[in-house]
Amino acid sequence: MTIVEIGLPKRLVEFTLDGESVRVPEGATILDACTAVGKSIPTLCYGDTLKPANACRVCMVEVEGSRTLVPSCSRKVEPGMVVRTDSERTQHSRKLVLELLGSATDLSTTPHVDEWMSACGADPSRFGPDAETKLQPTTVDNPLYVRDYGKCIMCYKCVDACGDQWQNSFAISVAGRGFDAHISTEFATPLPDSACVYCGNCIEVCPTGALSFKREHDKREDGTWDESKQTRTTTVCTFCGVGCNLTLHVQDNEIVKVTSPHDSTVTHGNLCIKGRFGWQHVQNR
């Protein structure tokens, strides 16, 4: 049985989006409205299962009457609002934000970022070869996760997924300040000594590949990771009675990764260590 949340009927709010009148249910964000009418707005820190962090500023749009640009991922549509997603100011902002990010972090495994950069003509190298970066060695202190913080854009999603929004483990937090801000356990203690329960929900939401499953990381390293050869099969986890949906990513008849559908009403994309990592027995042939 599929459960569809119906909820209370919602009023429609009318506003102007890039010169056209659009009606969306009350409470919808500008980003929701853009998605509904088929406009694509780049996002990085936005997560479909998380509250908006408002941190990356890639999705900024112009709202008439507002002194600054506004984040479309969190700003709710108000009646009569006049929104422009493609004005010169928004284009400039998007280009610069992508350039700043690209100048400080390794975006090589961030999906879509190349398209966005070429669409707005972003060139991160123009800050020069001496521009300070966040590049650093990869951290591998356990058999399940790899943390490559040179790719971290500080979107807060892993912290939110680990904390009160989903897992309530609170193993990681943002530490430091300004350009030195980074994701850390207490006193940068190794993950096995921290409160981490290896649910992998932080990796599920990471938008850049800064966090990855060891298996995927190793296969990428040795050049055997090939998504075009992978199938995805969604099934139900057999470990307990909760009924979590598992999506098995299979390459060459081997499970290489397990995720969960974000629209699953049971998991909302989250799993525990068993569903996420407890599949080796399937392959004991």
Partner 1 sequence: MDLKLLDAEPTEAERVVVDLFTGMGRDQLLPALHAVNDRVGWISQGALNHICRVLHVPPAEAYGVASFYSLFSLTERPAKVVHVCVDLACQVNGAKAVCDRLTDELGPAGAGSGWLRSPCLGVCEKAPAALAFEAGEVAKEQLLAPTHAGEVIAVAAAGPSRVDGERAEVPQAGAPGLRLLKRVGVVDPESLDDYRATGGYQALRTALLLGPAGVIREVSDAKLMGRGGAAFPTGRKWDATARQPVRPHYLVCNADESEPGTFKDRLLMEGDPFAVIESMTIAGFAAGCSKGYLYLRGEYPRALHLLRNAISKARERGFLGTNVMGHEGFSFDIEIRRGAGAYICGEETAIFNSIEGFRGEPRSKPPFPVEQGLFGKPTVVNNVETLVNVPVILTEGCEAYTRIGTEGSTGPKLFCLSGNVSRPGVYEVPFGTTLSELLDLAGGVPPGRELRAVLLGGAAGGFVRPDELDLPLTLEDARAAGTTLGSGVVLVLDDTADLGSFLLRIAAFFRDESCGQCVPCRIGTVRQEEALHRLVGKRPLSTSAADLQLLREVGQVMRDSSICGLGQTAWNAIESALDRLGYAEEATK
Which residue pairs, CB below 8 angstroms and at least 24 apart, start in 191-195? 191/141, 191/142, 191/145, 191/147, 192/141, 192/142, 195/169, 195/170, 195/171
Instruction: Give the chain's end-to-end CA distance (angstroms, integer).
Output: 34
| Unique residue bearing structure tokens 């807060």 | 156
**Bridge partner list, 102:** none
Q: Which is nearer to partner 1, 191 or 237 (CB)?
A: 191
Q: Which is nearer to partner 1, 130 or 222 (CB)?
A: 130
For the bound state, the minimum distance from the C-beta of residue 41 to partner 1, rounded and expressed in Å, comes to 14
For the bound state, the minimum distance from the C-beta of residue 197 to partner 1, rounded and expressed in Å, comes to 9
Q: Which is nearer to partner 1, 54 or 251 (CB)?
A: 54
Which residues are at the interface with partner 1 (CB under 8 A)? 52, 54-58, 60, 68-69, 71, 74, 89, 92-93, 96-97, 100-101, 103-104, 126-128, 130-132, 153-154, 163, 168, 170-181, 184-187, 189, 193-195
For the bound state, the minimum distance from the C-beta of residue 181 to partner 1, rounded and expressed in Å, comes to 3
For the bound state, the minimum distance from the C-beta of residue 132 to partner 1, rounded and expressed in Å, comes to 6
For the bound state, the minimum distance from the C-beta of residue 128 to partner 1, rounded and expressed in Å, comes to 5
Instruction: Check: CB of residue 24 under 8 Å from CB of residue 12.
Output: yes
Residue type, 279: W
Q: Which is nearer to partner 1, 101 or 210 (CB)?
A: 101
* CA angle in degrees (0–180, nearest 5) for 54-55-56: 110
Largest interatomic CA distance in the chain: 65
Q: Which is nearer to partner 1, 59 or 246 (CB)?
A: 59
